Chain A
Amino acid sequence: MDKSITIKVADLIGSPLCISAEDGQKVFDKVEGFLKDGRNVIISFDRVTMLISLFLNVAIGQLYGSFSEEEIRTKLRVEGLSGDDMELLKRVVDNAKRYYANPQQYDAAWQDEGDEDEQ
């Protein structure tokens, strides 16, 4: 097996704050490229001091739009996350799987809800 590529998030985005969608996109672009090449990827969150769902949705959740669950499970690992941040990532991943399984589902449920005329 190829040696895994380690992406050090704090180095890549130049900050210990994983908070913005733009920075999440930087991470996504790198990871997506390597996964497309068939490489194994480790995303390292060492030195990251703040992590929110908005960032993870873009950086990792978005991968489920490009790769199968099986591909991601076998080729991607994360390290350097605390227990509660691992739980956060799990929520993001579960949400992404649901989203890409049926992205229109949530919208459709609201077709007839809450109409009220406001100026």
Chain B
Amino acid sequence: MKLNVGTIRSTCNGFSSIAELAQDARALFLDNAELDFSSCRFFEANMAAPLYVVIARLRDDLNDVIIHNLRPATENILKKNQFLTVFNMGVLTDTNQTTLPFKIFKRQAGGQFNDYLDTYMRGRGIPSMSDALTKRFRQSLFEIFLNAAIHSDSELGIFVCGQFFPQLHRLDFTIADAGVGFRENVRRYTGQKRMSSCAAIEWALTEGNTTKTGNQPGGLGLKLIKEFIRKNEGKLQIVSRFGYYEFSSKGDSFNRMDHDFPGTCVNIEINTQDASSYCLKSELSSDDIF
């Protein structure tokens, strides 16, 4: 089966296009899937993570997946970020060091994810952000990674990828999984069998709400990330099944996508020129906290 991949950017349309691929290929089993990039004029490299959600599902159904007709610029960037290594299509040295390579992690691999960030967020062309900004950014990425590990209910792994856009002073980092999505988790937890994907994302964004079982408090991670993104004037996107959520300095927006993305993807875009102080000189003591 031929699947046409169009231009893919980190937008609602870009995610919806990837979801459409998944929907078109849903019935494939022990078959061939050819991702045809001939109509793809531009592919934002961090979007390799959600694209791999589709590929992981296809491979899990024992399909052979191949990539065809990449334009040279797209092939270059996808070789630089090592995405094409999963198709044995080679790798290019990332001379400008603007990529955080595509990588598949096991759900339990929090330590390896830390090593990955150590390797690719320091001493490369990736921006020399302040230590405080770097810490908040990394904390946010860990919150997302560990949430994917807990909630995805999928053994296919967690797919990560990042791209620095030097002229724009923006760094996008994308974490995706091929799991059950917010909707399924929130429906199970609340008993709301018909809750929509957007409503489920909204539920999960509410401080204190968590589908984690075991009588434990939770539901702070996404709220903290939003606070960070607000201060940083960056952007947060959450895609899960039919739901698309975006938060930026322009505000919140939810959109119901036309197609069903078979998992969850979170993209954080940060403003790398942010000079805000994130190091709070807190006077809090244990007495104040407890």
Chain A residues within CB distance 8 Å of chain B? 15, 17, 19-21, 50-54, 57-58, 61-62, 64-65, 69, 72-73, 76-79, 82-84, 86-93, 95-96, 98-100, 103, 106-107, 110-111, 113-119
Contacts and interface: CB of A to CB of B under 8 A. Distances in A.
Contacts, number: 150
B116 to A, nearest CB: 13
Contacts of B147: 54
Given A21-B150, A114-B203, A119-B260, A93 B208 contact: no
Interface of B: 110-111, 114, 132, 135-136, 138-139, 142-143, 146-147, 149-150, 183, 189-190, 192, 194-200, 202-203, 206-209, 212, 215-221, 224, 241-242, 256, 260, 278-284, 286-290
A110 B280 contact: no
Given A19-B142, A76-B290, A82-B279, A99 B217 contact: yes
A99 B221 contact: no
Contact of A57 (B149, B216, B260): B216
Contacts of B282: 83-84, 86-87
A116 B199 contact: yes
Nearest to A89: B289
B280 A87 contact: yes
A52 B225 CA distance: 11
Nearest to A51: B139
A65 B143 CA distance: 23
A26 to B, nearest CB: 14
Which of B149, B216, B224 is most buried by chain A, counting CB atoms within 10 A of its CB? Answer: B216
B143 A110 contact: no
A17 to B, nearest CB: 6
Contacts of B132: 84
A68 to B, nearest CB: 11
26 contacts: A17-B110, A17-B111, A19-B146, A20-B149, A50-B142, A53-B221, A54-B221, A57-B220, A61-B216, A62-B216, A77-B286, A82-B279, A83-B282, A84-B280, A86-B280, A88-B224, A90-B288, A106-B208, A106-B209, A110-B203, A113-B195, A114-B203, A115-B196, A116-B194, A116-B199, A116-B256
